[in-house]
Structure formats: C-alpha cells, structure tokens
Structure 1
Amino acid sequence: MKNPGIDVDERGYYGRFGGAYIPEMLHPNIEELRANYREMTADPAFKKEFDALLRDYVGRPSPLYYAKRLSEHYGAKVYLKREDLNHTGAHKINNTIGQILLAQRLGKTRIIAETGAGQHGVATATVCALVGLECIVYMGEVDIERQAPNVARMRMLGAEVRPARSGSKTLKDATNEAIRDWINNPENTHYIIGSVVGPHPYPDMVARFQSVISEETKWQLKEKEGREHPDAVIACVGGGSNAAGAFYHYLNDERVRLIAVEAAGLGVDSGESAATSVLGTEGIIHGSRTLLMQTDDGQIVEPYSISAGLDYPGIGPLHAFLIDSKRAEAISVTDEKALEAALFVTRTEGIIPALETAHAFAAFEQLEYGPEDVIVVCLSGRGDKDLATFTKYLDQLKDRDHE
C-alpha cells in the first residue's frame, strides 16, 4: 500500500490539513494505532489475510464496466468501477475488513462506528459478525428513518443501532456520539471510522485500505484500453473514502483529472447545502484540521443533502489539500440533479446507483471532455437503500405529467 506521491507527514498532515486534535483520554488509543497501523498492515500475514477476505468474502476485484449507452450519450469512453457489486453493496467493506483485522491484532473486544447512509454501519456490523465481536453503531435519528433498510440489516447482523438525537440528527451528530463512547470506553474499544476523516492516523489508514479501488482500476484499464491511466476519475465526496480510494494511485499522475463531487442540496447559496469546498473555511472538526462549514465564530453550520452519506459539514483533510492545491476539481450537484442522474443511469444501463453515487454522474453536465477521453466513475454503492426516496421522486414526476 505504498502511497504514490502525496503522503501525510509524521504528524498526520497533508500540507496544513490533518493532524490529531483529540481529548487527552483518547491519546493512548490514537497513539497505539499510529504506532502500529503501518507496520501491521505491511506484515505479510496481515496482507495475506486481508487480500484473501477481499477476494473470497467481499468478491474483489470489482468489475470495471464499459458503459456503452452512457458513453454514447455523454460522448466519451465511460467506465464504471462497480463497488456496488461488493458484499454489502458498497466500497465501505474494503475499509472495515482492514480495520477489524487491526482491531483483533490490538486485542480489542468491542467495536463502535458511526454511519450516515448506513452502508458503513452495515459493513461494520458485517465484519463484527464475521469475527464475533460486539458492535454498536451510532446513527442520526433522521438517517435511521430515511435509511430504514440498512438499519434492519445492521440489526439482523447483531449490531445495536443507537440514535443520535442532537443537532441535525445526521452523520455529524452520530460521529459526536461515537467519539463520546470511545472516550468512556478507551481500553477495550476500537472505533472503526468509515471515511477519510477524524484524527491521524484515520485519514491515511482508511485511504490505504480503499486504495484497492484505484489499484485494480490501473490493471483493468490496461487490459481494456492499453493504458493504466484514465483522463479523469469522478467520485462523490462527503467525507470522501470512495474518492480517496479511486484517486489514490493517480494522486501524483498529472495526466489524470481528479473530480470530487459534493452535495449542493437545495443550492450552494440556499442555506441548505453540504458543498464544503465552496462554503467551507479552515477549521477543526472531529479531530482534524480541514475545510468545514462554520460561522465566523467557529460554530458548525448544519449541512443538508437528500443523500445521507454526503450530509456532512466537512471533508477529509486529503481532499481539502487536493482541492486547495488545485490537484482536484470540486463540483457541486443539487438534490434535483442527483435524482435526475439516478433515474437516467438506471434506465440507460440497468444499474440503480446509490443517491451518493448519483451526484458523481450528475457532474457530467458541468464537465468538458472529448470523444476519446477515458472517464472512470466510482460507482460507490447500490441504490436499494434509497428506493423510498426514488419512489417518492417517481411519484412527483407522475404528478407533474398529469398537471
């Protein structure tokens, strides 16, 4: 898992973003992880077990699918990296497999996690069932309601789902609750963070586990196009773990455009948005210095997106660095455009994408490219969990047609 060019320094910074801003109570846990994660993940026995589980349990490699009809429509060579075909239906399982193996080696007996869309919660509950560890998942009360299928899956897998009832009752608040739990149970508990956020070493560690996405993309593109690099990689970004994985092996390859797609909600200037790269300023959230939406006196501005997985007021420090340094381009997509894209992709390719992923597809409207350009979209998750939202949207379309 060697980082190809953009790496954290020893204190966990990408440029001026990153670090570990943590309560004293958590210092032993964070230091234990920081001191051990690279050595443990580089161990041949760890790699063998990790790779075997990705292959035989998760079902990797995920296909790189040439989307013929989308390519014809957009006028480019469009490939979909099918993370939706992984066990549990998203990219999240790549990271939870890695972290559960680390937790076992560190002697932890209890696992906690936060989740927004529920995919990370399901992936965490899945690996806990796999190895027989206690699992508690914190989830915003609003998200519990709008992501009911994933809540049912977590409970089926034996996890306890605890609602976060403060603030906007979404991902930020679930993360707050998980951190409080960890402070109260530091010795036996490992916190499986689901994205490239939080204190060092989490952003680097999660990116490394997710780097399998771009690692596979390179050899798959070589087979299909005769070259390892696409012209562009598009991925949705909330915290940003699927994007970190899809970008990872292209970070230092300037031939590849890296396009991070955020949730504009009801519009960037509407007051109901999660477009952190546009609305955010430098600050500290959940243990790292990054870009986040905040007031002039440093209070968090509540984010909004129809997509639970993008409904977060910040982005991971790696993405903050990439956007700030102009290595990555940030695009914002509204709820309406994401819903339109979800329906279009579904009826063009027979693939129902997650609402998060639909934002990435909607970005095509804002990009310029040529007919020979090879564009890889990270299809980060499947849309089963969003069917209630999609059904409501279809009903609205039907009503409009009748007006």
Structure 2
Amino acid sequence: MASSLPPIPNPYHESMPDSKGFFGPFGGSFLPPALQEQMDILAAAYEKLKNDPSFIAELADIRKNYQGRPTPLQYAARLTESVGGKRGEVEIWLKREDLNHSGAHKLNHCMPEVLLAKATGKTKVIAETGAGQHGVALATAAAFFGLECEIHMGAVDIEKEAPNVARMKILGAKVIPAEHGLQTLKEAVDSAFEAYMKDPETQLYCIGSVVGPHPFPYMVREFQKVVGEEVKKQFEEQAGGIPDSLVASCGGGSNSIGLFTPFIDTPSVKLHAVEPLGNGSALGQHAASIAKGEPGTMHGFASIMLKDEAGEPGPVHSVASGLDYPSVGPEHAYLATVGRTEKGAGATDEETINAFYECSRKEGIIPALESAHAIAYALKLAKKAVEEGRKERIVVNLSGRGDKDMEYVLQKYGHMMPQ
C-alpha cells in the first residue's frame, strides 16, 4: 500500500507513539468507558513506575538473576556455510532468546507486567496465548509474584501445543479453551477480553504482544527492546560495527519490535518482519496481514488486518500457532506503511519446516516454529547476498525454543526430515 504519511521522524522515539498511543493512523484505544478507565489507570501507573529507581532496580535484578539475561549472540557458522557464506562476508547470527528463562522472549514483558499488576492492586492476571509461550511466561511470572493466573487458548492450539499447556498447569495457571470460530489465537483473544470485561477491577489483562489498546503496544515494546539493546552491544564487541539486516518473525510482533527498536533511527540497518505465508495466497491460507491486509480496528486498536467479504477479521493459517493472527501491532503497521520495514518478507510452511530441521541439524538448536520463519527468511537473504557477491551480516531473533513443537512436527512433517 502506498503511503501518504510524512517521513519517519528522527529521533523516532521522541514522538512515536503520541500521547494517545498512535503511530501515525495506527494504534490508539477503542474501548467501552469502563475498560478505558482501567487502561488509563494502567497507563498512569506505567508512566510513574518506568522511571522509579526501585522498579528499575528490581526489574534489572530479575532479568539478570532469574531470567538469565543477557542472552547470547551466536555466530551460526554452519547455517552460514550452508548457503555459501563465510565469516567477514555473508554471516548469520542468532540472538538466543530460546535461552531466556521459560524458553522464549515473552518473559521480557511478562515479569514487568505482573509487577504493574501488583502495583495497581490486582490479584489476578489474565491473558491469551497462541503457541503457549506467552501463557507459560505469564504463568511463570504469576507464580514468582504470587498472583492468580488464567490463560485463554484456542482448542486447536491446546491440542497442538500440549507440552506448553502442561507447563502452564504445573505452574498453577488455569487454562481456558476457546472453542468458537477457528479455535486459534484470535478466538483466544476474544475469550480473554470477554473474561476480563467481567471484572477489570481485580484482574489485569496482560496482553502477549505489541497489540491491543494503548498503552500495551508502547509498554510491551519498551519491555522487549532489551533484546535489541543487547544485540547492539554484543554485535559491536563480537563482530564490530552494526548488522546490515535484522530478521524476526512477526505475528503480533513483540519479538520483532524488541529487536528492531534500538536500530530504527539507523537507516542503514534493514528491518525484516517475517510474516507467515502459510500454504497459499488465498484468504485463510496465510496470516500475512502486513502484506495483504487493509486498515481496520479489532481488539481495541487500529492497525492493518485481514478481512473477509463482510469486513470482519478474516480466517488465517500458519504452521506456527503464535503467528496465526489476522492483524499486527500498530507500530509494525506504521513502520511498513512508511517503508522502514520490508513489506512482503515472509516464509511458507514448507520453508519454515525445512528451516526447523536445518537449524536443528546444523547448529544443534531446535527452534520454535515461529522462530523458524525468521531463520528461513535469513537463509534466503544470505543466499541472495552470496549470489550477488556482496557483504551481508544478518542477525536473527531466535525468539523461542522448539520443545513445544517437536511432537507436532514429527506427526505432520516427519516425512520432511533430512535422512
């Protein structure tokens, strides 16, 4: 879609989002008055706490001594060599968020979200989850701080991601199946919102990505940008300079915005938000909302979304449960519309499964299927750079480990396993 928006501001973060949570025309908060009141309370609490020395110190201690941050930045030598690259020319690096406690990047925002819940007097946290990584992270944070936890998850995903469901239950969370519609991520959000609206006074809806009404897209971004901040420092120390390309999978977009944020004001660094291209281009065969969506409003925020003939959120598909959402975070919608991120970056189900096996065999790392989308696209970028004879240093956000996906992949795609 052509952009009629003014050029991206620099410095970017001084004006994005604005005071009402808008990134250009995207974002904001579209909620009933009672819920808006709760969002205003949350926004005020965050603005107060984000600069509070005790909050900052507690979060820093948690990240270092509980989560295990900073996570490593690893040069993926054999993945690089598999497409003809080599050190000093074409390189693939992996930001190892799979080594973050609980196995994914999600704990980066769940721990401070539950801290905020306690600060605003809540006794319970509630959330949606797709692949289960956000659900596990929130259940972990709730157990750590002693709050009740309720996780809504599509019935299809409950069956598909059984290991994460078990982890949530062991951690003390109540798992609620969403059994309407396609029974996946969008329906889980519907279910969680409905439950939250019944009692916004005692519980906090801890949104699992940079989606939803303001202040969540802004707040989750600020909690996740630790990933990109670490990458900037680690890459300078280990490789020198800055990367040429940053690559991350993008459903709602929390792991990608976390990687991108510290580099947005550096135009030489290309940003690739990799969408799920699924198994076809027709509606219901993919979840490429940036590439194929149009402006719309759902779940309390304005963004780009896939729509059916009636203008309602359309059906979606992805081999990765964490990416099958018919919209995207408003900041991603803005960055794509003004041309800061690459429109059309994506990986098919087949490419993703091949990358899943390739990373496992070449690097000894079993990636989450969400992360495998990013690996698949990075391999394509690296191969193209080799063919064109130019240098390209690529950092991939390996956002989660693939324990949750192993049984599903073996059942459905065992025939694709390299011999």
**Does the 8 Å contact 1:6/1:251 carry over to 2?**
no
- For 1:195, which of 203, 209, 221 is the aligned residue? 209
- 1:3–1:103 distance in 2 versus 1, CA, 3 Å: farther
Secondary structure in 1 aligned to 2:134?
helix
For 1:240 and 1:121, how far apart are their aligned partners in 2?
Answer: 16
Q: Which residue of 2 is the match for residue 388 of structure 1?
A: 407
Identity between Structure 1 and Structure 2 (%): 46
**Does the 8 Å contact 2:152/2:177 carry over to 1?**
yes
Secondary structure in 2 aligned to 1:163?
strand
For 2:250 and 2:402, how far apart are their aligned partners in 1?
Answer: 17
- TM superposition score normalised by structure 2: 0.92
Q: Deviations over 1:313-355 (max 9, x none)?
A: 0000000011111100131211111001110111111100000
- Using the TM superposition, give the Cα deviation of residue 23 of structure 1 relative to its aligned residue in structure 2, in angstroms: 1.6
- For 2:63, which of 37, 46, 54 is the aligned residue? 54
For 2:196 and 2:112, how far apart are their aligned partners in 1?
Answer: 19
Q: Which residue of 2 is the match for residue 303 of structure 1?
A: 316
Secondary structure in 2 aligned to 1:65?
strand
Q: Which residue of 2 is the match for residue 373 of structure 1?
A: 392
- Using the TM superposition, give the Cα deviation of residue 392 of structure 1 relative to its aligned residue in structure 2, in angstroms: 2.2
User: Is 1:233 the counterpart of 2:246 in the alignment?
Assistant: yes
User: Is 1:290 the counterpart of 2:299 in the alignment?
Assistant: no
Q: Which residue of 1 is the match for residue 28 of structure 2?
A: 19
- Using the TM superposition, give the Cα deviation of residue 25 of structure 1 relative to its aligned residue in structure 2, in angstroms: 2.2
Q: Which moved more, 1:67-76 or 1:387-396?
A: 387-396
- 1:394–1:308 distance in 2 versus 1, CA, 3 Å: closer
Q: Which residue of 2 is the match for residue 117 of structure 1?
A: 131
Q: Deviations over 1:81-102 (max 9, x none)?
A: 0000011000000000110111
- For 1:80, which of 94, 97, 116 is the aligned residue? 94
Q: Deviations over 1:53-101 (max 9, x none)?
A: 0110000000000111122223211110000001100000000011011
- 1:173–1:71 distance in 2 versus 1, CA, 3 Å: same
Q: Which residue of 2 is the match for residue 357 of structure 1?
A: 371
- TM superposition score normalised by structure 1: 0.95
For 1:365 and 1:100, how far apart are their aligned partners in 2?
Answer: 37
**Does the 8 Å contact 1:3/1:248 carry over to 2?**
no
- For 1:7, which of 16, 22, 27 is the aligned residue? 16
- Using the TM superposition, give the Cα deviation of residue 299 of structure 1 relative to its aligned residue in structure 2, in angstroms: 1.1
- Using the TM superposition, give the Cα deviation of residue 278 of structure 1 relative to its aligned residue in structure 2, in angstroms: 2.1
Structure 2 residue identity aligned to 1:338: T
- Using the TM superposition, give the Cα deviation of residue 4 of structure 1 relative to its aligned residue in structure 2, in angstroms: 4.3
| Structure 2 portions without partners, runs of 5+ | 1-10
For 1:80 and 1:345, how far apart are their aligned partners in 2?
Answer: 11
User: Is 1:160 the counterpart of 2:174 in the alignment?
Assistant: yes
Q: Deviations over 1:147-176 (max 9, x none)?
A: 000000000000000000111111111111
**Pairwise CA RMSD:** 1.6
User: Is 1:214 the counterpart of 2:228 in the alignment?
Assistant: yes
Secondary structure in 1 aligned to 2:131?
coil
- For 1:318, which of 331, 347, 358 is the aligned residue? 331
| Aligned residue pair count | 398
User: Is 1:345 the counterpart of 2:359 in the alignment?
Assistant: yes
Structure 2 residue identity aligned to 1:134: E
For 2:80 and 2:390, how far apart are their aligned partners in 1?
Answer: 9
